[in-house]
Amino acid sequence: MTAALDEVKRGMAVKTAASKYGVLKTTLLYKVTGKYPASARMGPAVLFSSEEEQLLVTWIEPMAKASFPITKCNFMTSVAQLALDLNKEFKNHKPSRKWYGCFL
């Protein structure tokens, strides 16, 4: 997105920059015109930081390598407990199937 914004500021057409960098034309246009801040992240807020998600990965990978793969149920229960430990809350107090799919 940043590269596309830079190209538009240098005179490239919004449509061309969007195609070149694989970003949505409308989103790029909104950021160029100031409707949305250039640094704003689109979509819902994330529950876990990148570091916290990496913590989950560093737990899963060694278990799988040691022939003890984590089941979906076990993973979801552990994620819900991690959220509680970090004073964060999922809707309905547990991660959804959509959250699971996005995490994968």
Cα dist. 70→42, 62, 64, 82 in Å?
31, 10, 7, 15
Residue 45 lies in a domain: no
Rounded CA-CA distance 82/56 in Å is 9
**Whole-structure pTM value:** 0.60
**Residue 42 binned pLDDT confidence (cut-offs 50, 70, 90):** low
pLDDT(12) > 90: yes
Which is more confident, 37 or 87? 87
Residue 42 lies in a domain: no
For 25, the domain range is: 2-33
Could you give the number of structural domains in the chain?
A: 2
Examine the domain organization and report whether 55 and 12 are in the same domain: no
Residue 39 lies in a domain: no
User: Looking at residue 41, what DSSP letter applies?
Assistant: P
